[in-house]
Chains A and B, each alone.
Chain A
Amino acid sequence: MSFQVALQLTIALLSVATLVRALEDWLTRAEYGTGGVMSAEVTALQRAWGRSLLSRLLFHITSSHKLLNLCMLMRIALPISLLLALSLRQSSGLTVGLLAANLLFAVFFLLRCGYGADGADQMLIVVNCGALLATSSNIIVHRTGVWFITLQLILSFFVAGLAKLFGREWRSGVAMAGILTTARYSSSPWLGAMLVRRPVISQALCWAVISVETLFPVVLLGIPTLTVATLIGGLLFHVSVAFTMGLNNFMYTFAAAYPISVYALL
C-alpha cells in the first residue's frame, strides 16, 4: 500500500470515527449541561482555581456550556470538511489545517469530559496526532507520525493481553460470561446466558482473546503473511466487539489506525 493511499484511508476513517462520536455526544448534550451526569459546572471543580486572570479564564473555558456546544459543533463540522477535502483532492495544506483543528477540539473535549471518557477517545487523539505528523515533508517527523500510530496500536493489544493474563477471572474463563451478562456491555443477553451455561466456551473465548492480544507484537517480526493475518485478526476483533458488546466507537477509532500500520509494517 502506498503512503498516500494509507494516509487518505486513515484520515477518512478518522473523520468517520470523529463524526459518529461527535453526533452521539451532540444528541446527549444535555448530560454536559447543568443537571447532567457530566455537568460542566461540577467537573470544572476538579481542580482548585485561583483568583488570577489566567485562572478565571481557564475556569470559564472549562465550565462554559456554550464553549462545549461550540466544540461539539466543530467536532461535527471538521470531519465533514476533512472528508470533503479528501474527496475533492484539495491541497495538503488544507488537510493539515483541518487535522490540526480536529486534534485541538478532540483534546479539549477529552480534557473537559473527564467522567465518561474511554480508550476510543484516546485512540482518536493518537491517530489524529500521528496522521498530522505523517503529512510532514520532513522524513523524521513523517516516520515518527507513522510509527507513533503503529506502536500505539501494537501496545494497545499487547498491554490489554498482558493485563488479562494477570487477571484471575480471565485465566479461569469467567470474565467473558461476566461481561456479556451485563446490559451495558452485552448486545445479546442470550450470548451471556449461553456462556454461563457452558463455561468451557467462555474459557476458550477468554484464552483466544488473551492469545490474540499478547501475540499481536508478532507483526514486528517482518513476516508478511503473519503480519497480514494478525492485522486482519485484530480488525475482526474490533468488529466482533462492536457487535457483541456495542462498543461501536472502538471499532471506528481503532480501524483508523490500521491503514497507516499496514503501510509501516508491510
Chain B
Amino acid sequence: MSTVLSGVAVVVMILWLIATALANTPVGDRILTSVIGTRRIRALVPTWSFFAPRPVSYDVTLLYRERLADGECSPWREAIPFPRRHPIIRAFWNPGARAFKAVSDASNVLILSARAAPQPVSPRSLMLSIPYLLLLAKTSSLKIGVGVVSRQFALVRHSHRDARIAVTFVSGFHDVSTSVTDGERMSRCPSRLPSS
C-alpha cells in the first residue's frame, strides 16, 4: 500500500513539474487549460513569468460616483483607498495588496471579455460576468448617504509617469437603497441595464 502511495506521490510531482514548464509557454498554457478545464484547478500550476513579457506600467483604480434624488451626480471617489506605508514596513507587512491585485485582475478579465465578445457588446452579458459582479459588489457595499438613489463605477489607469488618466470602463447606474440588505441589493443590481 505504502509503495503504491509513494509511486503516486512521485508521479504527481513529476506531472506537476512538467505542467509547470508547459504552463509557462504560450502554446502549452492553452493545452493545459483545455486539459484541466476549470480555471481554478489551473491555479495550482504555477505561472512564473512575473511582469513579463509585458510589464505592468500603470495602476488600476476602482472609482464610483452617486446619483442623487435631484439628478445631480457626486464627484468620483476611490472605492479602495490606497494604503500609504513606509517602504521598510511595506517590505515586511503589506495587507491590502491582494485587494488591489483583485481589482486589477477583475479589470483585465472584464476588458478582455468585452473585447472578445461579439460586437456590439451586450451590456447584459457583461453585467452578468464575474468581474463586473465583483466590482459592483464592492461599490454597492460602500456606505450609502442620504438622498443617494443610484451608483456607478469606473476603472481608470494611471501612473506617476503620465499626467493623463485613461478611463477603461464605465458601468451603468445601479439602484441602491438604504432600505434593503447587502444581499438583496446585490441581487437587484444587475436587473437594470446601464444608461451609459
List A residues at the B interface (Cβ < 8 Å): 20, 23-25, 27-28, 31, 34-39, 41-43, 45-47, 107, 110-111, 114-119, 122-123, 125-126, 129-130, 133, 136, 138, 140-141, 144-145, 148, 151-152, 155-157, 159-160, 163-164, 166-170, 174-175, 177-179, 181-189, 192-193, 196, 239, 242-244, 246-249, 251
Q: How many Å lie between the Cα of A102 and that of B8 in the bound state?
A: 21
Tell me the chain B residues, 29-63 only, with Cβ under 8 Å from chain A. Answer: 38-41, 43-59, 62
Nearest chain-B residue to A39 (Cβ)?
A: B137
Whether B57 and A181, one on each chain, are in contact in the complex, defined by CB atoms closer than 8 angstroms, is: yes
Nearest chain-A residue to B79 (Cβ)?
A: A37
Residues from chain A with a CB closer than 8 A to the CB of B57 are 169, 174-175, 178-179, 181-182
Q: How many Å lie between the Cα of A145 and that of B14 in the bound state?
A: 10
Whether B80 and A155, one on each chain, are in contact in the complex, defined by CB atoms closer than 8 angstroms, is: no
Which one of B95-103, B116-124, B165-173 is at the interface?
B95-103
Number of A-B contacts (CB under 8 A): 242
Question: Which 6 pairs across A and B sit closest by C-beta, in order of nearness?
Answer: A35-B141, A178-B57, A167-B53, A116-B102, A187-B87, A163-B52
Instruction: Check B6 for interface membership: any CB of A closer than 8 A.
Output: yes
Residues from chain B with a CB closer than 8 A to the CB of A174 are 57
Whether A34 and B95, one on each chain, are in contact in the complex, defined by CB atoms closer than 8 angstroms, is: no
The distance from the CB of A244 to the nearest CB of chain B, in whole angstroms, is 8
Whether A27 and B95, one on each chain, are in contact in the complex, defined by CB atoms closer than 8 angstroms, is: yes
List B residues at the A interface (Cβ < 8 Å): 2, 6, 9-10, 13-14, 16-17, 20-21, 24, 38-41, 43-59, 62, 80, 82, 85, 87-88, 90-106, 130-131, 133-135, 137-138, 140-142, 159-161, 182-183, 186
Whether A246 and B91, one on each chain, are in contact in the complex, defined by CB atoms closer than 8 angstroms, is: yes
The distance from the CB of B178 to the nearest CB of chain A, in whole angstroms, is 14
Partner of A138 from B6, B91, B98, B183 at Cβ < 8 Å: B6
Residues from chain B with a CB closer than 8 A to the CB of A45 are 130, 133
The distance from the CB of A159 to the nearest CB of chain B, in whole angstroms, is 4
Whether A43 and B130, one on each chain, are in contact in the complex, defined by CB atoms closer than 8 angstroms, is: yes
Whether B98 and A111, one on each chain, are in contact in the complex, defined by CB atoms closer than 8 angstroms, is: no
Whether B186 and A38, one on each chain, are in contact in the complex, defined by CB atoms closer than 8 angstroms, is: no
Whether B159 and A178, one on each chain, are in contact in the complex, defined by CB atoms closer than 8 angstroms, is: yes
Residues from chain B with a CB closer than 8 A to the CB of A118 are 98, 101
Query: Known pairs A37-B135, A155-B24, A167-B55. 18 more at Cβ < 8 A?
Result: A31-B138, A37-B62, A37-B103, A115-B105, A122-B46, A129-B13, A136-B9, A145-B13, A155-B20, A157-B48, A160-B49, A169-B53, A169-B55, A178-B55, A184-B59, A184-B82, A184-B97, A196-B161
Partner of A248 from B55, B92, B100, B103 at Cβ < 8 Å: B92
Whether B98 and A24, one on each chain, are in contact in the complex, defined by CB atoms closer than 8 angstroms, is: yes
The distance from the CB of A42 to the nearest CB of chain B, in whole angstroms, is 5
Partner of A133 from B9, B49, B82 at Cβ < 8 Å: B9
Q: Do A192 and B80 form a contact, CB below 8 Å, given A46-B40, A167-B54?
A: no
Whether A24 and B52, one on each chain, are in contact in the complex, defined by CB atoms closer than 8 angstroms, is: no
Partner of A159 from B49, B102, B159 at Cβ < 8 Å: B49
Nearest chain-B residue to A125 (Cβ)?
A: B44
Partner of B138 from A36, A41, A111 at Cβ < 8 Å: A36
Whether B94 and A24, one on each chain, are in contact in the complex, defined by CB atoms closer than 8 angstroms, is: yes
Residues from chain A with a CB closer than 8 A to the CB of B88 are 243
Whether B133 and A42, one on each chain, are in contact in the complex, defined by CB atoms closer than 8 angstroms, is: yes
Residues from chain A with a CB closer than 8 A to the CB of B38 are 47
Whether B161 and A192, one on each chain, are in contact in the complex, defined by CB atoms closer than 8 angstroms, is: yes
Whether B17 and A152, one on each chain, are in contact in the complex, defined by CB atoms closer than 8 angstroms, is: yes
Partner of B56 from A123, A159, A182, A251 at Cβ < 8 Å: A182
Partner of A148 from B16, B51, B100 at Cβ < 8 Å: B16
Residues from chain A with a CB closer than 8 A to the CB of B94 are 24, 246-249
Q: How many Å lie between the Cα of A39 and that of B103 in the bound state?
A: 12
Q: How many Å lie between the Cα of A187 and that of B21 in the bound state?
A: 31
